[in-house]
Amino acid sequence: MSAGRLDTLQELLERARDFPDAGVRLVDLQERETFLSWAEIGERSAVVAGGLARLGIVPGDRVGLVQVTSPDFFAAFFGTLFAAAVPVPLYPPVRLGRISEYHVRTAAMLDTVAA
């Protein structure tokens, strides 16, 4: 890291420990709020990055993320970046009645980007 400048996402999230009130507020469908500090997101992301490495993900690989916007999504997204891989966020199915169509479209998207 150069003097006065943060060069990586990991360094930025590490520095965020000095600002515990900074982070992300999420509101779920029942209007319940969840707060995640940037430091917590950094810790969770490091765990995900380690898991991806154990699965054989290498820099440049594309990783499909089929999740709603949630604390787990942030950990998966940033964890993929920590692993120097490319996150490919895709929204999960909205209606179960069309799950077959969803599977076909999602598989085609994942295939197209080689995730």
Q: Which domains, ranges and CATH numbers included, belong to the chain?
A: 9-112 (3.40.50.980)
Q: Which of 63, 114, 110, 69 is nearest to 87 (CA)?
A: 63
Query: E strands of the chain, at which residues?
Result: 23-27, 33-37, 62-66, 86-90
Residue 53 is predicted with a pLDDT of 97
Residue 51 is predicted with a pLDDT of 97
**Per-residue pLDDT band at 98 (split at 50, 70, 90):** confident
Residue 1 is predicted with a pLDDT of 46
What is the arithmetic mean of pLDDT over 60-77?
93
70-100 residues labelled b (16+ CB within 10 A) or e (exposed)? eeebbbbbbbbbbbebebbeeeeeeeeeeee
* Average pLDDT along the chain: 88
1-51 per-position pLDDT tens digit: 445 565 788 888 888 888 888 899 998 888 999 999 988 999 999 999 999
What is the arithmetic mean of pLDDT over 55-66?
96
Q: Which of 7-21, 59-73, 77-91, 97-111 has the lowest mean pLDDT?
A: 7-21
Tokens linked to 82? 């920590």
